[in-house]
Structure 1
Amino acid sequence: MSKLAQLRAQRDTKARAAAELNAKTPADQRMPAADASALDGILAEIEAVDAEIARETRVAQIAGDAHAEHELALNGAIHQGGGNPANAEAAALRAMLGGGLSALSQDQRSAMAARQNPDIRAAMSTTTGSEGGYTVATEFSRTLLQAMKEMGGVREVASTIQTATGAQMLFPTTDASSEEGEIVGQNATANVGETTFGQLSLDVYKYSSKSIALPFELLQDSMFDIEAYIKTLLALRLGRIQARHQTVGTGTAQPRGIATAAPVGKIGATGQVATVTYDDLVDLEHSVDPIYRGAGRWMFHDDVLKGVRKLKDTNGRPIFVPGYETGNPGGAPDRLLGRQLVINQKMPAPAASAKSVLFGDFSKYLIRDVMDVTLFRMTDSAYTLKGQVGFVAFCRSGGNLLDVGGAVKAYQHPAT
């Protein structure tokens, strides 16, 4: 068993012990001092194990991702393609990255031209074979989006759609929550009860990965998995900026982030510029209407989690309950006040006037992606004189909180 697996098993054992100890005392009774002390000790041990798991996971990602991709290449899944269309597309992509469009076989050219739009077909048929656009194969695009999701953040819990064009998309809205009928007498005239409609826009914006310059030597080295390298960089660059905009984007020349759009449900008391209390979280939860609370989750930065893990209710019971492996029978995620939580490192850290905690139904935030990611290979003189080949990727995406009923509310720290 690997060290990471041992640590996870160790965390599972301690988390189960914490859950059992927490459930030992009825919710309406104060936890005995001995049990509370024992539970605090278990939670401290879990926190230490979590830190070790985070370090080991990071090391495994750095050392393992490239190795896994390389093994896949050596087994022929990328180079040969086999009978899988997705692998064939990956092989075509690898050929294009290494040698440009001229490196594609006739079958690969025909297959890729058949599935592109007219603009892409024109680019592929140009006499400048070393340049031109290449729309990433469907499987590659799906992997890229998955990598953005695994970074954590809004995309993990939001609703997503993919549209064929980037034309402006409008959503009609209305807030009839305060409207109600009436009782009228016999032969009496009903009163007028007008309702108001509005609209919200979901625009998309063009994202660039910024250009990547690779020396010829790396491209010519058959042991270097160029496809995995490019894919990782694109995922990180495009994923990070989209995660930030989907969280705190201003809505002006960029998506409107969920923290920006969420109305304030609770403002902390004066002096709480760096802390959140148990009462604050309860008030924030109940600022969201019960119709949305059923699907409610928490979202905040890891710095906030560090603080709320130490909070207890009026009976001395921790409001944070550590989870254990969801893949195991009886497993469960971490919970705060009985609800799941999402760690989003793009959320504001506790500070004066910052919205550091969100609660509600995050499916009301809609992310819109247009078509697939597009990758370009560049070998003009600016790169050639340095012995390099350039790559740049583009995608179009947008996001907005499409809600007028207060499905998501924010906790805001006081100004002082």
Structure 2
Amino acid sequence: MVTIQQLREKIANLATQANHLLAEKGDQIWSPEDQAKFDGFTNEINAARQQITNVEKMRELEADKFFQNPAQKKPEDGVEVTALVACALYLRNGMNLSADQAAQIRNVMSTTTGSEGGFTVPTEVASMVIERLKAYGGMREVATVMPTVTGDPMNWPTSDGTGEEGEIVSENAQTNVLDVSFGTVGLPVFNYSSKAVALPLQLIQDSAIDVVTFVVNRLAVRIARIQNRHYTVGTGTGQPLGMLTVAGVGKVAPTGQSLTVTYDDLVDLKHAVNRAYRKGAKYMMNDTTVQGVSKIKDTVGRPIWIPAITEGAPDMLNGHAVTINDDVPVMAANAKSIAFGDFSQYTIRDVKNSTIMRRFDDSAFGLKGQAGFCGWTRSGGNLLEPAAVKVFQNSAT
């Protein structure tokens, strides 16, 4: 079975060949054979990336199956109760512990609502959650993340100065006045839940797996998915305002382009954003959209898509990095399918020490021989400067 590392090496090799072809052709007009060769490279790159996604999905399924195979219990009794050990003890056993262990857990993990048995997770576990949130979706990769001590309502001052300019003043003449226009943007936070995860009780207690990593990853991925969707297309009603919801339309495709975008559209979208926000600006789109956009050529037939050679580096489109976000709609009638701009103007607000985990041992789970787990964290987001991002919208027909 091919490994993820082998697939990544294949992608790097194909990207090197594609870039070599670009450099070799230079300003020459591409022949059909050149085009077919380049398209072959990009098709294989996209296929390899999809295969990596498939392998990662299978790993998640294998992790689920792991719980069907009991292993030996970890010897946790008598171990010094550090933050991670305390979390593991709590996840494995709930509060069915010795008095000494229970006291040590309470010392390490802050109690939230005692009657419900919830704990604010220690810093080490909270860091694991944040890293998992960053790794999923796309918005946290490019947005500005602002931790706040509390979740109190916050209005952020805004001011668009891109249309302002100074003047020349004659000797002994009075300068004119140009007042600055200020506005405010709300940055409320919302209490996100992973929903409860039910796992076999006996296997949790007996398994030799890293229960903290498994449970935290599963809960954090669920929260990451809904947060990324809200940061992208949230309505602002009972959820954050999404980036695509706030950003203005920079280019509407002409009739007949309900499923396509052209090179001219991408250029128009880029220049719909003021130059003040174009330094470091990026494109953002769904991975399905990437497959079509990566084949677009400029006016002399040269590909405008440059695949990344080194792992972790972004692909480049029309001279700008590309962020893949699968919560951006795919191309369809009236869909806002591509965004361009300075995505750091979207601010995600995380409330510090708000990540909570709880184990459930009530009858809803206990009668089935299971334990339930749920995670919560408080967060919100908004595009503080709407002029910084514009979107491409497909035609209605």
TM-score scaled by length of structure 1? 0.84
The aligned residue for residue 297 of structure 1 is 282
Cα gap change, 1:108/1:381 in structure 2, threshold over 3 Å: closer, same or farther?
A: closer
Counterpart of 2:88, as a letter, is R
Contact 2:137 2:224 in 1 (8 A): no
Counterpart of 2:35, as a letter, is A
What aligned pairs does 1:11-410 form with structure 2 within 5 A after superposition? Answer: 11-27=11-27, 29-60=28-59, 62-63=61-62, 79=76, 88-103=82-97, 106=100, 109-110=103-104, 112-113=106-107, 116=110, 120=112, 123=114, 131-183=116-168, 188-223=173-208, 225-326=210-311, 332-372=313-353, 373-404=355-386, 406-410=387-391
Unaligned runs of 5+ in 2: none
Contact 1:353 1:412 in 2 (8 A): yes
Counterpart of 1:335, as a letter, is M
Unaligned runs of 5+ in 1: none
Output one character per residue of 1:70-102: Cα deviation in whole Å (capped at 9) or x when no partner: 9xx9998x958988x9xx222111211222234
Segment of structure 1 superposing worse, 47-56 or 245-254: 47-56
Cα gap change, 1:53/1:237 in structure 2, threshold over 3 Å: closer, same or farther?
A: closer
Segment of structure 1 superposing worse, 173-182 or 199-208: 173-182
Identity of aligned residues (%): 43
Q: Residue 17 of structure 1: SS of its match in structure 2?
A: helix
Counterpart of 2:298, as a letter, is D
Q: Distance in 2 between matches of 1:340 and 1:82?
A: 49
CA RMSD of aligned residues (A): 3.0
CA positional deviation for 1:183? 4.4
CA positional deviation for 1:334? 1.6
Segment of structure 1 superposing worse, 168-177 or 309-318: 168-177
CA positional deviation for 1:190? 4.2
TM-score scaled by length of structure 2? 0.88
CA positional deviation for 1:185? 5.2
Q: Distance in 1 between matches of 2:63 and 2:320?
A: 33
Q: Residue 378 of structure 2: SS of its match in structure 1?
A: strand
Output one character per residue of 1:1-47: Cα deviation in whole Å (capped at 9) or x when no partner: 964333332322221111011011334x4234543343233333334
Counterpart of 1:376, as a letter, is R
Counterpart of 2:240, as a letter, is P
Segment of structure 1 superposing worse, 337-346 or 148-157: 148-157
CA positional deviation for 1:381? 3.9
Q: Distance in 1 between matches of 2:266 and 2:60?
A: 34
Contact 1:204 1:398 in 2 (8 A): yes
CA positional deviation for 1:152? 2.5
* Equivalent residue pairs, number: 393
Contact 1:81 1:90 in 2 (8 A): no
Output one character per residue of 1:243-281: Cα deviation in whole Å (capped at 9) or x when no partner: 110110011110011111111111111121111111100
Contact 1:81 1:91 in 2 (8 A): no
Q: Distance in 2 between matches of 1:382 and 1:235?
A: 23
